[in-house]
Amino acid sequence: MVSRRTFVFGGAGLGAVALAAGAGGVLVEEDVLPGKVRFDRAIGRCRGLPPAPATPGVVRTQTFRSRRRDTDVAAAVVLPAGVTSPRGLPVVVALHGNGGSGPAAARDLRLDRYLTEAVRGRAPFAIVAVDGGPNSYWHRRASGEDPLGMITDELLPLLGRQGAHTDRFGVIGWSMGGYGALLLAETAGAPRVAAVVAASPAVFGSYADARRTNRLAFDGPEDFARNDVMAGLGRLGGVPAWVDCGTSDPFAPMARRLRARLHPAGRMGRGCHDGAFWLRRLPAELAFLGAHLTGR
């Protein structure tokens, strides 16, 4: 999952440059020239993976037929240690990044271990990491595929029938999923969405920017305009929000714009667009979601 993102966002418009001493290095440092991410990675600003919490939780993958996506969809239900069922628990929906899947996100980000640690001594909740398609960008597409409709009209009712509390839910996402988390929170709104966390959200300032980075993200300018999360920030009124992004992330400039307008919790911090940054921020993000979802 991490290597996929490194390719998608490290190789699209962020080509290598010859780093000369003096002015050249300063220009890269200030994001004026391309190559900052590779430069920061080379000098160790991206950091390594932190050790995961020791206690595993429970991960159970289930598959359901989705009319909204016109395919079978896999969802990994993540429970803290000692909990055997989502019955009676509130839910956080987790949205994966570009090229990923729900079960892969649950596995690669060790969500069961981080969730177990997050709810220690607190009210438990479940995380459901659902598959929205490798490059759907979490919005209704010209093909008719509708991953957000799949969440609200199919996944959450399915979990409700299994006993989970789904009248209010939290949402978290990484990269493409961070964009999707914001879009879902804007679409469902308060009070349905208890809180939203966008980790390194892959948000673009224009359709041209999106096209240069990922030509599959939107079907065209009109599709981008309909699903522009920056234009829809007013719909987040009443939804507690958290936005984290690494200062060596290619999406850092847009994250700063987002944070300046939204004034969310979270922060810009040392790190890149990778699992090492996401895992370091995950404990605080889950604590934020848990507090707003369970009231404790």
DSSP secondary structure code for residue 266 in this structure: S
d(CA 93, CA 77): 9
Q: How confident is the model at residue 148 (pLDDT cuts 50, 70, 90)?
A: very high
What pLDDT is attached to residue 40?
77
At the topology level, CATH places domain 2-294 in Rossmann fold (3.40.50)
Q: For residue 76, what are the β-bridge partners?
A: 61, 129
Burial label, 24 (beta-carbon count in 10 A; 0-12, 13-18, 19+): middle
Instruction: Give the model confidence (pLDDT) of 65-77 as tens digits.
Output: 999 999 999 999 9
Is pLDDT above 60 for 34? no
Burial label, 189 (beta-carbon count in 10 A; 0-12, 13-18, 19+): middle
Task: Locate the domains of the chain by residue range.
Answer: 2-294
Instruction: Give the model confidence (pLDDT) of 3-16 as tens digits.
Output: 333 323 333 332 32
How much is the pTM?
0.89
8 Å CB contact between 103 and 129: yes
Burial label, 76 (beta-carbon count in 10 A; 0-12, 13-18, 19+): buried
Residue for token pair 């418009």: 13
Q: How confident is the model at residue 207 (pLDDT cuts 50, 70, 90)?
A: very high
Average pLDDT over residues 85-114: 97
DSSP secondary structure code for residue 265 in this structure: B
Q: How confident is the model at residue 36 (pLDDT cuts 50, 70, 90)?
A: low
